[in-house]
Amino acid sequence: MAQAADAARTVILTVDDDPGVSRAVARDLRRRYGESYRIVRAESGESALDALRELKLRGDLVAVILADYRMPQMNGIEFLEQALDVYPGARRVLLTAYADTGAAIDAINVVDLDHYLLKPWDPPEEKLYPVLDDLLDAWRNSAYRPVPATKVVGHRWSARSSEVREFLARNQVPYRWYSVEEPEGQRLLAAAGQDGRRLPLVITPDCTVLVEPEAPELAARVGLATSPAADFYDLVVIGGGPAGLGAAVYGASEGLRTVLVERSATGGQAGQSSRIENYLGFPDGVSGAQLTDRARRQAAKFGAEILTAREVTGLEVNGAARVIRFADGSSIAAHSVILATGVQYRQLGAAGCIDLTGCGVFYGSALTEAAACQGHDVYIVGGANSAGQAAMYLSRFAKSVTLLVRGSDLSASMSYYLIQQINDAPNISVRSRTVVDAAHGTDRLEQLTLRHVASGETEQVDAQWMFVFIGAAPLTGWLGETVLRDERGFILAGPDLTADGRPPAGWELDRPPYHLETSIPGVFVAGDARAESAKRVASAVGEGAMAVMLVHRYLEQS
């Protein structure tokens, strides 16, 4: 009896141009294998190829293909030859009449035929099932792999392909990557009717083909929430880093109707960290992705909505309501708002870096690229904790990792434990007082020009990978003049607004701003976007929780 298939959606396909024969074959197959496999039948080579392409897009597996030899327009051998391009791992069987056995034998060499069966195959218990049982056993023991639902086809050195992969990975969306240069990538392109000139290609779980998708479209198609369920909330949290997730957890758990809005992926810069070892309660460390996933699930458990790939463009005051404007023109409103937009790494101003971003030059850890660094020399620009964590992680793959630091050493901005780990790592070196002058390459990074700050001497080194972790630019430009910010764009709050003993301009309440309250009553800030914040994960989470406490105080007095 047939063993259960490894995947729930595994197919045995049969094609015969005679409807009666087609139904008879399918009937016998269902009788024996219907509980473990899905039986798909077609009545022409073209329709069978269409079915195979659709199965390929869905990520279904095809174990065995049975094709009749004598079919008009496209005979069985011609069909199996094309089917081989779509599902090379499927076992192939040709149904022939006695007079066609010569053609069947020739087909063994043409299409790597696994077996041919003479018609009629009655009784199937003797002439059909034993053959298929052996072929299914062989297929199960072969190197086939079930394909995850979401598939991405792209070019290895494509900035847009890298962005899509990073977006899916950071949003915890399972996907499978196929290089356009690989046979399977070409098969998926052909199945989707694309020629590969526009990449990346994304095939969603419902077989929708997306070409060069933007984040909002991609998010909606892979099942991420992008539209709010209501027009008005108690609390809107803008930003999904540690501060925003902390605020969402505490806000929702304390009964506030809470929605978190994230423009890209939850986790912020911390979510890109390969390992955080100084966060309370995780003595063995935790990756940013793991911490983010736990926090996101925790917020959802308490009822917080989480919207992904929604860009906020404005904040307005409308009486007691605080209105959030989105890039698409829509809006939501709330009694209170927590700004947890965080920061982003500053762009490296060296010549050539802009053109090579995503093609060897990456901002942040780009964990999706780590495995590809195997055996290569990697350069990391920056001397803070994020750079040190990336160096330790990438050293597991790379031949060597070189930290380029403008300062004289790492002690000014990196935690002691990380400095000790870096000193003990045999393939990590630190070049102090060194900056990048230029990045060189045509389609990808090939070399770097390094300059010693003190002497001015330059050196050109071969490099395929550079990860940049410099500075912290707050993601607050969209606020304009709505709330008060310092000269670097960080949001002023609480005591910083009343340093001269007077409330900020336009403040209409009798009380001074609460500790994390901005120049607009009911609008709070938490995490790295706040002026003079600690820039640590634990402090960001703490500020998110504290901001919710102050939201309650504000709502009670409103």
Segment 414-431, tens digit of pLDDT: 999 999 999 999 999 999
Q: Establish whether domains 232-344+473-557 and 361-468 are of one fold.
A: yes
SS3 state of residue 361: strand
Residue 48: pLDDT band by 50, 70, 90 thresholds? very high
Lowest-confidence pick of 52-61, 314-323, 490-499: 52-61
449 and 436 Cβ atoms separated by less than 8 Å: yes
Rounded mean pLDDT of the chain?
91
Rounded Cα distance, 529 and 520, in Å: 16
Asked whether residue 81 carries a pLDDT value surpassing 90, the answer given is: no
Q: Residue 52 pLDDT more than 50?
A: yes
The amino acid occupying position 223 is G
When pLDDT is cut at 50, 70 and 90, the band that residue 140 belongs to is confident
Among the ranges given (11-15, 109-113, 520-524), the one the predictor scored with the smallest mean pLDDT: 109-113
Q: Does the pLDDT of residue 7 top 50, yes or no?
A: no
Q: β-strand 201-203 against 209-211: which pairing, if any? A: antiparallel
The residue type of 297 is: R
CATH of region 150-221:
3.40.30.10
The tokens describing 10, both together, are: 């595994």
Query: Beta strand 175-179 with 305-308: parallel, antiparallel or unpaired?
Result: unpaired
Separation of CA 231 from chain center: 29
Measured distance CA(107)–CA(416) in Å, rounded: 68
8-state DSSP, 98: G
> N- to C-terminal Cα distance for the chain?
72
Q: Of 3-7, 358-362, 407-411, where does mean pLDDT reach its minimum?
A: 3-7
Rounded to 10 degrees, the C-alpha dihedral 421/426/428/429 comes to 110
Over residues 323-331, mean pLDDT: 97
Please state the rounded mean pLDDT for residues 11-29. Answer: 94
Q: Is the distance from CB of 175 to CB of 152 less than 8 angstroms? A: yes
pLDDT per position as a tens digit, 472-505? 899 999 999 999 999 999 999 999 998 788 888 8
Distance CA 259, CA 233 (A): 7
Residue indicated by tokens 């986790």: 267
Q: What is the pLDDT of residues 201-252, one digit of tens each?
A: 999 988 899 999 999 999 999 999 999 999 999 999 999 999 999 999 999 9
Among 120-129, 324-333, 408-417, which range has the highest average pLDDT?
324-333
pLDDT digits (tens, 9 = 90+) for 448-477: 999 999 999 999 999 999 999 997 899 999
CA distance 384 to 399: 22
- Give percent of the chain with pLDDT exceeding 90: 70
Which helix (H) or strand (E) segment holds residue 38: the answer is: strand 38-42
- Please choose, from the candidates 115, 131, 520, the residue with its C-alpha nearest in 3D space to the C-alpha of residue 337: 520
* Cβ neighbour number for residue 52 with a 10 Å cutoff: 27
- CATH superfamily for 232-344+473-557 is FAD/NAD(P)-binding domain (3.50.50.60)
pLDDT band per the 50, 70, 90 thresholds, residue 440? very high
Residue 112 or residue 187, greater confidence: 187
CATH of 361-468, one of 3.30.1510.10, 3.50.50.60, 3.40.50.1220, 3.40.50.170: 3.50.50.60
**Alpha carbon of 325 to those of 358, 434, 530: distances in Å?**
30, 43, 21
Cα separations in angstroms, 230 against 94, 216, 330: 58, 19, 12
Closest to 315 (Cα-Cα) out of 131, 485, 440, 80 = 485
Q: Does residue 1 carry a pLDDT above 50?
A: no
Could you tell me whether strands 175-179 and 150-154 are parallel, antiparallel, or unpaired per DSSP bridges?
Answer: parallel
Greatest mean pLDDT among 163-167, 251-255, 411-415 lies in: 251-255
**Are the C-beta atoms of 371 and 156 separated by less than 8 Å?**
no
Residue 538, CB-side half-sphere exposure with 13 Å CA sphere: 8
Task: State which amino acid sits at residue 422.
Answer: I
Tell me the residue type at 536. Answer: R
> 10-140: which CATH topology?
Rossmann fold (3.40.50)
Per-domain residue ranges of the chain: 10-140, 150-221, 232-344+473-557, 361-468
